Amino acid sequence: METAKRQKKQGKIFVISGPSGSGKTTLLNKLIQDREINKLLIKSRSLTTRPRRWQERDGQDYFFVSRDEFRRLLKAKKILEWTRYLGYYYGTPRELVEARIIKGGHIGFCLDLKGAAILKKIYPKNTVTVFVLPPSLETLKARIEGRSKSIDKEEVAQRLALARRELSAASDFDYCILNNNLQVALKELKEIVLTHVGS
Ligand code: ADP
């Protein structure tokens, strides 16, 4: 009993998920800039084999790796969960998560739906899942196009087709946030995090 009491409480894993373009990355990036949250939560970074977008920095937004390096890490079981999206691989580095939560620290993720479900399954007691809902498919299309000027029509169509299917999974999540007004959505996300890290 005494030993159990003295054991450090493990940290929480916040998984922000939802269709591409719904605003997951924007919300999590803004959330960790919040003064109150900044002391509590770090943002996890995924490994990816997709090319870097102009505004992204290696080691900040993602760890950009080659296909061969990704395969090597997978084989060495250094990747907790992974997915292939539009021809590129994305994965979560195991060490980053475990080192953090064992010490009682909290960590936030932007993940696809499958990744969210896997983390919930591996760490059921630690994981809190949040689905970010776009106001409409038209708005989602505009955001996807606005984010990357060079995106071709076919990729936009693929992302929208996937988004349509993904929207039906929102009810499997612990929370659902409508990202219409960014400040309102951000406030809701902050409240969710504070509720769980305080308990
Ligand atoms: P995701 O990470 O879910 O793919 P992003 O965070 O990259 O989505 O957001 C997609 C685009 O939409 C970005 O250009 C972002 O600036 C914009 N965006 C996100 N949330 C809002 C919002 N509430 N209102 C207007 N634009 C937004």
pLDDT of amino acid 176:
97
Structure tokens at 163: 């988004």
* CA 192 / ligand 1 centre spacing (Å): 20
**Where does 20-170 have alpha helices with state H?**
24-33, 35-38, 67-75, 94-102, 113-122, 137-147, 153-167
Q: Is the CB of 20 under 6 A from ligand 1?
A: yes
Report the C-alpha gap between 66 and 49 in whole angstroms. Answer: 5
DSSP label at residue 124: T
Q: What is the CATH number of the domain that holds 96?
A: 3.40.50.300
pLDDT of amino acid 158:
92
Domain count for the chain: 1
pLDDT of amino acid 4:
54
Report the C-alpha gap between 181 and 38 in whole angstroms. Answer: 22
What range defines the domain where residue 189 resides? Answer: 2-197
Mean pLDDT for each 10-residue chunk of the chain (199 residues)?
A: 64 96 95 95 93 86 94 95 90 92 94 92 96 96 90 92 94 97 98 89
Q: What pairing do the DSSP bridges indicate for beta strands 127-133 and 175-178?
A: parallel
* CA 81 / ligand 1 centre spacing (Å): 24
pLDDT of amino acid 7:
65
pLDDT of amino acid 88:
95
